Structure 1
Amino acid sequence: MSELRYETDRGVVTPAQIEGMFVGWPNPPSPQQLVAVMDGSYRRVWALDGDRVVGYINAISDGVLNAFIPWLEVHPDYQGRGIGAELVRRLVAQLGDTYAVDLCCDPEMLPYYEKLGFIRLAGAGMRNPHAIACGVRSEVPTASPRWCP
């Protein structure tokens, strides 16, 4: 492992640098989709070992009071080294005086985030498990999402 570096600019990562991410996802995004998501996010931090992406985190925000962290991932070969905590620290620093920084996670991940200063909140969500794989994007929001065949 070379020295890790952290990048925050758009366009610093290409899909060719991404391999082995989204472990356990039933319908993982493609490397192209990940780059598009990260480059389109309000804030982002990539962790790189040489040219290889080994972790990332992003935030979407209204730019005034609220931000949401949809993705934090560290490559399995790099977990347990503090990279995830450093990604969170760097992203939260970028968010500055934002009033609310929220995220949703699986219940078993709550203790991890609590160690990083997050508190438990109630929440709800809706997921379209096929949207990543088949690119569903409705022009008009509906009460019930359209699932692809």
Structure 2
Amino acid sequence: MEYLYSLDGISEEQLDSGFFDGWPNPPSRANFYRILQNSTYVWLAVDKDSNKVVGFINAISDKVLTAYIPLLEVIPEYQKQGIGSELVDRMLEQLKDYYMVDLLCDADLQGYYENRGMRVTTGMMKRNYNQQSGKAL
């Protein structure tokens, strides 16, 4: 597995189709690529044999004080191999100088992030599920 911190040399075609597993209305591959392009920080897991991106984490930041991690995804056939943990660890290391690093996750995932050095807290959210596939251009 190769871990990259930018999209340099990565094309839309290298994004495996297994991302957003279980989402009823996932982003298209083009919108997925735009998500990565528009992120402040990104880490990618690339399978050296297939040259496909099989995992990613992204962060959005003001580059001064705060960062937010909206997505961590590893395609199902690559899960349980430590890829997600490696991506989280690399992102948290990159963000270590920020005052505030936040993310939202389901309660059953809180222990996973606690093991990566994060704390459970409360928060608020709003979801527009009719826009789950992405904002139109």
Is TM > 0.5 for Structure 1 vs Structure 2? yes
| Other structure's SS at 2:13 match | helix
Aligned counterparts, 1:73-92, within 5 A: 73-92=73-92
Letter in 2 for 1:17: Q
Distance 2:130 2:124 in 1: 19
Kept in 1: contact 2:31–2:134 (CA 8 A): no
Segments ≥4 residues shifted beyond 6 Å: none
TM-aligned CA deviation for residue 53 of structure 1: 1.1
Aligned counterparts, 1:64-103, within 5 A: 64-103=64-103
Query: Could you give the per-residue CA deviations for residues 14-63 of structure 1, whole angstroms, max 9, x where no partner exists?
Result: 22112111001111011111111111111100100021111000000110
Percent identity (aligned): 43
Moved more, 4-13 or 50-59: 4-13
| Other structure's SS at 1:25 match | coil
Counterpart residue number, 1:23: 21
Counterpart residue number, 1:106: 106
Superposition TM-score, scaled by structure 2 size: 0.91
* Distance 1:49-1:105 versus aligned 2 partners, 3 A rule: same
| Other structure's SS at 2:27 match | coil
Query: Any gaps of 5 or more consecutive residues in structure 1?
Result: 138-149
Equivalent residues, number: 134
Alignment root-mean-square deviation, CA: 1.5
Distance 1:136 1:41 in 2: 17
Query: Any gaps of 5 or more consecutive residues in structure 2?
Result: none
Query: Could you give the per-residue CA deviations for residues 63-112 of structure 1, whole angstroms, max 9, x where no partner exists?
Result: 01110000001111111111111001111122231111110011111111
Is residue 34 of structure 1 aligned with residue 32 of structure 2?
Answer: yes
Distance 1:134 1:38 in 2: 13
Distance 1:124 1:97 in 2: 24
Is residue 7 of structure 1 aligned with residue 34 of structure 2?
Answer: no
Distance 1:133 1:89 in 2: 28
Superposition TM-score, scaled by structure 1 size: 0.84
Pick the structure with greater CA Rg: 1
